[in-house]
């Protein structure tokens, strides 16, 4: 089934997401095969938050598929301030063939998708980061051979990355335990929806308080920064509240001997993860980062071909 937009993983059925992962794996293995698939296609890349992996992977990705990117900074666009989201969407649909938006409110990407006939891709909102989660699950597939039944421990803030991992676990049949301090749990609506969806795939979603419980017998330990973009004024409080949630050697010893460590980056060594873990033989963070490129290319092929 053809979908117009890619805003959140829950919007897509399991089979279609799995097909996208398989396409990403094929793109990674045989990039030349797809080199002219989007020849002449233009992708508008709107970045209202700082970006390294999202921007480079989409801009390099569209170029490697034969198209080109037009980067639009927040100062140039200022969605909803300088110009309405609707007017930006209606203008861009007459000039380009796809839009990537990295912004704050999830309502912005939803409104843009509503008012344009061309694909809108969520490059990150405060609610969800679906492209990151797809790269994460591709990496798990590569390193563990399967996703179904894999035990993933997510330690830390129940943020946009956590939400997308939760939706993905439900779609792919993974067992995901999220350990977060009180007040930092994932959105309960996300958890409730995902738990219902997981019943169809054999997935399992747990929300825990104890990070050591989550890490026990894990195949994957995943964490993210404690203070995300836009939360800088909360940093001191978050440092106190997340005490005991650092992924360190003591915690990692509770996981399976062949566990892998994942982080969406950028990382703050010495805060959410010890340097001895992120720089260890178990760490696959740069394989994970590279897979952003291959997943982004698969998303573009699915939506813009």
Distance CA 212, CA 235 (A): 23
Active site annotation includes 264: yes
> Do residues 28 and 52 lie in contact, with contact meaning Cβ atoms separated by under 8 Å?
no
The backbone region for 13, taken as left when phi is positive above 0, alpha when psi lies in -120 to 50, beta otherwise, is beta
Torsion 15-16-21-26 (CA) sign: positive
Question: Among 202, 145, 192, which Cα is nearest to 172's?
Answer: 202
| H-assigned helices in the chain | 14-29, 53-64, 74-77, 85-92, 106-114, 130-144, 160-172, 188-198, 211-215, 235-241, 249-252, 275-278, 285-304
Active site annotation includes 129: yes
264: its two tokens: 């969406």
Could you give the 3-state DSSP secondary structure of residue 216? coil
188: its two tokens: 């309960």
Residue of 102, 151, 171, 294 marked catalytic: 102
Residue of 5, 136, 197, 224 marked catalytic: 224
Residue of 129, 151, 263, 294 marked catalytic: 129
Active site annotation includes 63: no
Residue of 132, 246, 288, 296 marked catalytic: 132
Active site annotation includes 132: yes
Residue of 264, 288, 294, 296 marked catalytic: 264
Active site annotation includes 151: no
Residue of 10, 292, 294, 296 marked catalytic: 292
Active site annotation includes 292: yes
What residues are labeled active site?
Answer: 102, 129, 132, 224, 264, 292
């Amino acid at each position: 089934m053809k979908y117009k937009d890619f805003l959140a993983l829950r919007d897509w059925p399991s089979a279609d997401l799995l097909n996208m992962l398989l396409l990403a794996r094929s793109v990674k293995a045989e990039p030349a095969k797809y080199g002219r698939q989007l020849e002449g296609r233009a992708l508008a890349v709107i970045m209202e938050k700082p970006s390294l992996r999202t921007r480079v992977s989409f801009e390099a990705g569209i170029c490697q598929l034969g198209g080109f990117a037009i980067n639009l900074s927040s100062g140039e666009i200022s969605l909803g301030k300088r110009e309405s989201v609707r007017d930006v969407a209606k203008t861009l649909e007459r000039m380009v063939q796809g839009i990537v938006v990295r912004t704050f409110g999830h309502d912005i990407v939803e409104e843009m998708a509503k008012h344009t006939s061309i694909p809108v891709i969520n490059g990150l909102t405060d609610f969800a980061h679906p492209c990151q989660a797809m790269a994460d699950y591709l990496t798990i597939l590569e390193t563990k051979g399967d996703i179904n039944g894999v035990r993933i421990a997510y330690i830390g803030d129940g943020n946009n990355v956590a939400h997308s991992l939760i939706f993905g676990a439900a779609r792919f049949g993974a067992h995901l335990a999220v350990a977060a301090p009180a007040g930092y749990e994932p959105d309960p609506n996300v958890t409730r929806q995902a738990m219902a969806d997981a019943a169809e795939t054999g997935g399992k979603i747990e929300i825990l308080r104890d990070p050591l419980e989550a890490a026990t017998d894990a195949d994957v330990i995943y964490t993210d920064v404690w203070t995300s973009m836009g939360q800088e004024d909360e940093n001191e409080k978050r440092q106190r509240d997340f005490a005991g949630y650092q992924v360190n050697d003591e915690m990692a010893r509770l996981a399976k001997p062949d566990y892998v460590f994942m982080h969406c980056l950028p990382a703050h060594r010495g805060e959410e993860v010890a340097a001895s873990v992120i720089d260890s033989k178990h760490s696959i963070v740069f394989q994970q980062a590279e897979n952003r490129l291959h997943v982004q290319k698969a998303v573009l092929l699915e939506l813009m071909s």
